[in-house]
Amino acid sequence: MAKSESFDVTTGVDLQEVDNAINQARKELTNRFDFKNVVLEINYDREAGKIGIHTADDFKLESVWQSLSQRLAARNVPLKNMQRGKMEEASGGTVRQEITIVQAIDSETARKIVKHLKDQKLKKIQSSIQGDTVRISGPSRNDLQDVIRMLKSEDWGIELKFGNYR
């Protein structure tokens, strides 16, 4: 029987690093002069995978996002997995925004990945969706490395991780 190699395509972020980045951003922003005596809240719901920002106006909101995104990038948290929601008006003329943390490949993106691989007409490469991961298998590791390069060259809207090599 022929030996088959495989790997899994997943996504996700380290939630502890997100927590650390939020704490750093909070500390930095509370010490900044332009945020003295201004409404500033950064709430993190680890269970739901959401970050809530509440501040005085849209300019302050952008400043908070810039600071937070710099801290996340410094901790190797993929910003592609942070999906910013709409800016909403809150009470007292303040604004708020919710950021959703993507921890899994949704079914639509998984189908796009499988379809993309089928459209490439790669010989002996098979892909299947298994929950929130895509398993890709083939006869040789060289073919699988080509698939990884191909997937990395496309923009899927999220950061892809490749692991579980067998």
The 3-state DSSP class for residue 98 equals strand
Residue 115 CA to residue 89 CA, distance in Å, equals: 40
**pTM metric for this prediction:** 0.80
Mean pLDDT, to the nearest integer, of 75-102?
A: 89
**Confidence band for 92, pLDDT divided at 50, 70 and 90:** confident
Q: Tell me, what amino acid is at 12?
A: G
For the segment 14-64, what is each residue's pLDDT rounded down to a tens digit?
Answer: 889 999 999 999 999 888 888 888 888 889 998 888 999 999 888 988 999
Domain 5-12+105-163 identical in fold to domain 15-101: yes
For the chain, the structural domain boundaries read 5-12+105-163, 15-101
Residue 3: how many other CB atoms lie within 10 Å: 6
| 5-12+105-163 CATH fold | Alpha-Beta Plaits (3.30.70)
- Per the model's pLDDT, the better-predicted residue between 80 and 123 turns out to be 80
Residue 136 CA to residue 147 CA, distance in Å, equals: 9
pLDDT at site 1: 40
Question: Looking at the predicted structure, is the pLDDT value of residue 2 above 60?
Answer: no
Tally of helices (H runs) and strands (E runs) in the chain: 4, 9
pLDDT at site 97: 92
The 3-state DSSP class for residue 120 equals coil
CATH of 15-101, picked from 3.30.565.10, 3.40.50.2300, 3.30.1360.30, 3.30.70.990, is 3.30.70.990
